[in-house]
Amino acid sequence: MPAASPFPARHELMSRRRLTQRQRARIQAIQEQRREQAARRAQQSIETAGERPARNGRVIVRHGASLAVEDDQGGIYRCLTRQNIGHPVCGDRVVWQPVDAHSGVVTALLPRQSLLSRPDFNGHEKPLAANISQLVVVLAPSPEPSGYLLDQYLVSAETIQVRPLIAINKIDLLDRGEQAGFLRRFAGYPKIGYPLVAVSAREGQGMQGLIDHLKGQTSILVGQSGVGKSSLINTLLPRLGLQTGRLSEATGLGRHTTSAATCYHLPQGGDLIDSPGVRSFRLSHLSFQQLERGFREFRPYLGGCRFSDCTHTHEPACAIREAVEQGGILAERLEHFQHLAQGLAGHG
């Protein structure tokens, strides 16, 4: 029996459930109605705000049309947003005006340093979190880690220009000898420049090393279901219940604060964004050139191929494949690149 491919079959990728035109039209009509209602409420809030001075703040929760905005003093306010300023998401820096002691209206969206997004069911980019500075890819011995998926996350980090970090959780499931063998599978990544930490959220093993990487950063955890992201968040945020309760009380969002992207403050410094959207994370649309540069160890060799449109699969005098032969690039990384490239328009 042939070995199972580590890559998703093309027919599996194409068999994702598609909504009928009638369903899409209904969803769009409901969304438009909600946008109009939110716009009316926002306009009423603006009129109520009058000439009150504007403030800067950061969106720490978004649920539907409601935002929880934190001001520079740590106060939290429930805000609506003007319809014409864009789509603020968790982590966005905004300008807002108070309406009363507990609420306000967002009037401007400040420039973003980074934006993590994923394609929605229509293929459009859906923003998940803004102004993150670090993408933490969580792996574990179980479920079996996918190097292909890991490389997709790393390409995403390179594309939006944030720091990548690989965190291997549940290391306590392995004995000392098994740990060494498991970690050797990923030994090539630190050599490329991707830091790696091995931790156990359950046992507390290695957590200080992870905390040191999180200090001073705004991080988001991504990874397969079952790798223990929730356990890591609960370990990193021992007062999570207090933070969630404070957000719920300030915004009136109740249980929705746990089902929406939320930015939490780490006790040792730094922030952590917990986003349900990363559970179904997929690589955003990229050009072939963006994908090339998303593999950072390819960069010294780009432009060195004989043909300017080299696909790095079969062409003679390919600088990338020669680098693999000479040990400068991992063969598995090139294989993952080639598979990702097959899905790009005009290639494969």
> What residues form DSSP beta bridges with 134?
163, 219
Name the least confident of 19-33, 118-132, 148-162.
19-33
Q: Which domain holds residue 316?
A: 288-342
| 161 Ramachandran zone, left/alpha/beta (phi>0; psi -120 to 50) | left
Which CATH number covers residue 197? 3.40.50.300
Q: Confirm whether 19 is domain-assigned.
A: no
Two tokens, residue 135: 């993408």
Assess whether 136 and 240 both reside in one domain: yes
Q: Which residue has the tokens 């090539």?
A: 188
Residue 175 main-chain phi, psi, to 5 deg: -80, 175
Q: What is the mean pLDDT of residues 326-338?
A: 96
* 274 and 212 both lie in a single domain: yes
What was the pLDDT predicted at 13?
A: 45
The chain-wide mean pLDDT, for the chain, equals 85
Instruction: Report DSSP letters for 150-168, one per residue.
Output: HHHHHHHHHHHT-EEEEEE
pLDDT of 255 over the 90 cut: no
CA separation for the pair 272, 84 (Å, rounded): 29
Whether residue 268 sits in one domain with residue 128: yes
| pLDDT score of 252 more than 50 | yes
Residue 39 has pLDDT above 70, yes or no: no
* Per-residue model confidence (pLDDT) at position 347: 46
Give the model confidence (pLDDT) of 54-106 as tens digits.
999 999 998 877 899 999 999 999 999 887 888 999 999 999 999 998 899 99
Is 159 found in the same domain as 133?
yes
pTM: 0.81
User: What backbone phi and psi angles, to 5 degrees, belong to 98?
Assistant: -65, 145
Whether 251 and 299 share a structural domain: no
Total domain count, the chain? 3
At residue 345, the pLDDT reads 52
Percentage of the residues of the chain whose pLDDT score is greater than 90: 61
Band of pLDDT at residue 190, cut at 50, 70 and 90: very high
Same-domain status, 124 and 96: no
